Amino acid sequence: MGMCLPCLGGAVDDAVDTPDQETRRRQLAEAAEKRQKETANRGVKNPEAVERKRKKQEEIQKQTMSTSVSGGGLRWQVG
């Protein structure tokens, strides 16, 4: 007949030690970041290509904004 309670001399090795609060917070933060990355990349075959395309669009938009602010671009000529 086996003993099922650790206080009665059963399996003491089965007890689970919980990590301290700092370790637990770090683990939860890592898990949250992992979930966010998975959610962001859901349905995307090549996430690197999507990231490159997004950065290129931002760069083009920046250049367009700086060109329009500095007075560059097209000018009217009457001739």
**Mean pLDDT of each 10-residue bin along the chain, 79 residues long:** 59 70 95 90 84 95 77 72
pTM of full prediction above 0.85: no
Look at residue 73 in the predicted model and tell me its pLDDT: 61
Look at residue 45 in the predicted model and tell me its pLDDT: 83
Q: Which residues of 37-57 are buried (b: 16+ CB within 10 A; e: fewer)?
A: eeeeeeeeeeeeeeeeeeeee
17: amino acid identity, one letter: D
Cβ atoms of 65 and 58 closer than 8 Å: no
Look at residue 5 in the predicted model and tell me its pLDDT: 61
